[in-house]
Every structure is written in C-alpha cells, then in structure tokens.
C-alpha cells in the first residue's frame, strides 16, 4: 500500500509539473503578442492564463512540500522512488536558500530575454 501511495504521489507531481511547464511556456510566449494585438483584452487573457499557471505552480510546490523534496537531487530521487540518506538530506537542505534565489533570478532573466525578443520581432506591428 505504501508503494501505491508513493507511486500516486510521483504521478501527481509529474502530472502537475507537466501542466505547469506547458502553461509557463505559453504564458511567457503569449504576453507580448496579446498586448500588441489585443491591447486591454489581451492583458485580461494574459491575466487569466497567468492565474492558471500560478495555480499549478502552487500545486507542484504543495506536492514537493508534502513529500519533503525541494532540491533537484531530492526530486530526482523521489521520482525514482528512492529517498536520500540523512547526510545527503542535510546537505541538500543547506543548498535550498541559495537555489531559490538563483532560480528566481534565472527565471527573471529568461523571461526578460524572451519578452525583449518578442518585442523586437513584433516591433513592426506596434502602432
């Protein structure tokens, strides 16, 4: 029974992660075209899309918190149905604050680059 619960948790994390990844990509790519072509209504559509993306981001984070996995190494071990030993667990817990900061900065930089590229491509269409 424990194995079935673990298997369902892994499947749930993978399912939410896949949905979140797809929505995140759509959200990043659609913001500039929606703003350029649909103006105010495009921003409403973007807001709704962003809300759905954040909903699934919170679902993924809830699954990670419920199963006490945060770092990449812990997530990979969890997805393979394994657990880290105590020393590895403490080492990974020490990395979490730094990884969160780097993740936020990296995401912001990538989003800025994508938005600038889209703006550059769509510049002829901007009124």
Q: What is the pLDDT of residues 21-63, one digit of tens each?
A: 999 999 989 988 998 889 889 999 999 999 999 999 999 989 8
Q: Quick one: 16 exposed, middle or buried, by C-beta within 10 A (0-12, 13-18, 19+)?
A: buried
Of all residues in the chain, the percent with pLDDT exceeding 90 is 34
- End-to-end, the C-alpha distance of the chain in Å comes to 61
State CA 33 to chain mean position distance: 21
d(CA 71, CA 64): 9
80 vs 87 pLDDT, higher one: 80
SS3 of 126, please?
coil
At residue 7 the predicted structure's pLDDT band, cuts being 50, 70 and 90, is: confident
The answer to whether the CB of 119 falls within 8 A of the CB of 32 is yes
Joined tokens for residue 44? 């409403």
Joined tokens for residue 27? 């959200």
């Amino acid at each position: 029974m424990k194995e079935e619960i673990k298997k369902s948790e892994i499947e749930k994390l993978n399912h939410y992660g896949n949905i979140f990844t797809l929505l995140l990509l759509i959200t990043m790519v659609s913001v500039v075209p929606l703003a350029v072509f649909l103006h105010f209504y495009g921003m409403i559509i973007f807001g709704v899309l962003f809300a759905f993306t954040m909903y699934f981001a919170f679902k993924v984070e809830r699954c990670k918190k419920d199963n006490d996995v945060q770092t990449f190494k812990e997530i990979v071990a969890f997805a393979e149905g394994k657990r880290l030993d105590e020393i590895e667990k403490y080492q990974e817990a020490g990395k979490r604050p730094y990884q969160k900061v780097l993740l936020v900065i990296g995401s912001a930089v990538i989003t800025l680059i994508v938005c600038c590229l889209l703006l550059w491509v769509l510049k002829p269409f901007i009124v």
